[in-house]
Structure 1
Amino acid sequence: MNKSLLGASLFALALAAPLAHAHEKGDILLRAGAITVDPNTDSSSVKVDQGPLSGADLGGEATLSSDTQLGLNFAYMITDHLGIELLAATPFEHDVKLKGTALSAANGKLGSFNQLPPTLSLVYYPLDPKSAFQPYVGAGVNYTWMYDEHLSSEARANGFSNFKTENSWGVAWQVGADYMLTDNILFNAQMRYIDIDTRATVENNAIAPGTRARVNVDADPFIYMVGLGYKF
């Protein structure tokens, strides 16, 4: 009889465990994992905007490569259903390639740059706070800092110099889900879409003194992250 009662009690505890409060007002969530930035690139044609050839349209387009780094999320629960979240990561590096331009020396890998995309979002968790599974949606604002631009050896050999990119402000959307593995440890998966636009410029005095070309790039990446988290 006692064994039966003990067995029933353990079964009841097993069923109740997933119903422990997952996210409550005042909780702090720290998530970490692999994060991939996959640009959904759309660009203007390459145009000469300075120098004796100013106004010339060289055609073609620019593309950006993907990169995977360590991603970090810091979230604070304002209520049982609303949280504020900050996305951070180690620096991403993207290759910039030009293709289809009228200037054959410009086609190929132009160079690369690093970027950091801190994003602040308001996140909504629709399910009961007692549920171990916590899907969420969010929206916020992104600032992408682009830096450490450097040309490829091929581009330098073809006379290119002074490669620059501009920082970007944009809106961000996200969907994701947490699953509580224990009272404090969680598994997380998330996807974001961020509006990131930049203008890249590069000079080439070998073509003509004072020549500069520019291309406007809508990077607009999808961002994927999978990892673990801890609830404080």
Structure 2
Amino acid sequence: MKKNILTLTLCTILSTSTFAADYQSGDIVVRGGITNVNASSDHTSILLNNTDSSMTLTVDDNSQLGLNFLYFYSTNIAIEVLAATPFTHDVTIHDKNAVLNVDGAKLGEVTQLPPTISVLYYIENQSAFKPYVGLGVNYTIFFDEQFEDAPKSLGLSNLELDASFGLSYQLGVDYLINDNFHINASARYIDISTDATFDVGGESIGKATIDVDPMVYSIMLGYKF
């Protein structure tokens, strides 16, 4: 009899703890941590007067403070807004035919903000681990585009990158520490493509379509209100 009462008591405590920690409709979650934007390693061809040159470029990765804001419509469905401090990426030029002797040189820097709104679906379970999948839309804004001194000496100037609009796909998991705090890890792919234009010798003849298409990785600490 005592054994049955103890078992029932333990089950009740575990059940109460699980439901207390689970997300509920109306919950608001704020997360903060490190976010890394790892751009595609593909080489982008540089066009001069709409003709493929021997030169290509690549964009490196960057890590910044990442922020997430979530609102739960139900235990399973949440709306997430991804924000961050601006990411600054080095752009490297590659000259496979060594025409300008700039292979591997830093071409310049671009700074971007990739705000993303996603719908998340949490897979219901009775564990402290809460996995989810997400689908969203992204609008990336580029600014502070600038060439390095060496490219400027080659007559390159007036670098501009268009804003980008694309989809985002996400996998993630929350580990619930207690009723309020959790640790979050996520990986998402964002479709980011931008048209870059620049002047050569004062003439607007240079352009490239850059498929940034990054994987975005985040480790964050979250708090549920």
1:81 is aligned, of 76, 79, 84, to 76
Q: Does the 8 A contact of 2:21 with 2:180 survive in 1? A: no
Residue by residue over 1:34-56, the C-alpha shift from the partner in whole angstroms, topping out at 9 and shown as x without a partner, is 000000143442111xxxxx243
Residue by residue over 1:123-172, the C-alpha shift from the partner in whole angstroms, topping out at 9 and shown as x without a partner, is 000114x6422110000100000001111111112221101111100000
Specify whether residues 144 and 112 from structure 1 end up closer, same or farther in structure 2 by C-alpha distance, changes over 3 A only. same
**Superposition pairs of residues 43-58 of structure 1, within 5 angstroms:** 43-48=43-48, 54-58=49-53
Q: Does the 8 A contact of 2:22 with 2:75 survive in 1? A: no
2:62 is matched with: 67
Q: Indicate yes or no: 2:200 matched with 1:204.
A: yes
**Superposition pairs of residues 75-114 of structure 1, within 5 angstroms:** 75-100=70-95, 103-104=99-100, 107=103, 108-114=105-111
1:224 is matched with: 217
AA paired with 1:45? S
Specify whether residues 164 and 105 from structure 1 end up closer, same or farther in structure 2 by C-alpha distance, changes over 3 A only. farther
Q: Does the 8 A contact of 1:21 with 1:131 survive in 2? A: no
1:23 is matched with: 23
What SS class does the counterpart of residue 17 from structure 2 fall into? Answer: helix
Following TM superposition, by how much is the alpha carbon of 1:98 offset from its aligned partner in structure 2, in angstroms?
1.5
In 2: Cα distance, 1:68 partner to 1:55 partner: 34
**Number of residues of Structure 1 aligned to a counterpart in Structure 2:** 220
Following TM superposition, by how much is the alpha carbon of 1:118 offset from its aligned partner in structure 2, in angstroms?
0.3
Q: Does the 8 A contact of 1:46 with 1:101 survive in 2? A: no
In 1: Cα distance, 2:23 partner to 2:220 partner: 17
1:183 is matched with: 179
Residue by residue over 1:183-224, the C-alpha shift from the partner in whole angstroms, topping out at 9 and shown as x without a partner, is 10111101000000011122121xxx5252111111100000
AA paired with 1:217? I
Following TM superposition, by how much is the alpha carbon of 1:69 offset from its aligned partner in structure 2, in angstroms?
0.2
Q: Does the 8 A contact of 1:120 with 1:140 survive in 2? A: yes
What SS class does the counterpart of residue 203 from structure 2 fall into? Answer: coil
In 1: Cα distance, 2:50 partner to 2:40 partner: 27
In 1: Cα distance, 2:17 partner to 2:196 partner: 53
Which ranges in structure 1 are unaligned for 5 or more consecutive residues?
49-53
1:143 is aligned, of 130, 139, 150, to 139
Q: Indicate yes or no: 2:167 matched with 1:171.
A: yes
Following TM superposition, by how much is the alpha carbon of 1:16 offset from its aligned partner in structure 2, in angstroms?
5.3
TM-score normalised per structure 2: 0.88
1:34 is matched with: 34
What SS class does the counterpart of residue 21 from structure 2 fall into? Answer: coil
Specify whether residues 105 and 164 from structure 1 end up closer, same or farther in structure 2 by C-alpha distance, changes over 3 A only. farther
What SS class does the counterpart of residue 182 from structure 1 fall into? Answer: coil
What SS class does the counterpart of residue 152 from structure 2 fall into? Answer: helix
In 1: Cα distance, 2:186 partner to 2:215 partner: 11
Which ranges in structure 2 are unaligned for 5 or more consecutive residues?
none
In 2: Cα distance, 1:106 partner to 1:55 partner: 21
AA paired with 1:191? A
Residue by residue over 1:57-105, the C-alpha shift from the partner in whole angstroms, topping out at 9 and shown as x without a partner, is 2133210010000000100001111000000000000011110255415
TM-score normalised per structure 1: 0.86
In 2: Cα distance, 1:211 partner to 1:170 partner: 27
1:215 is matched with: 208
* Paired-residue identity, %: 39
RMSD: 2.4
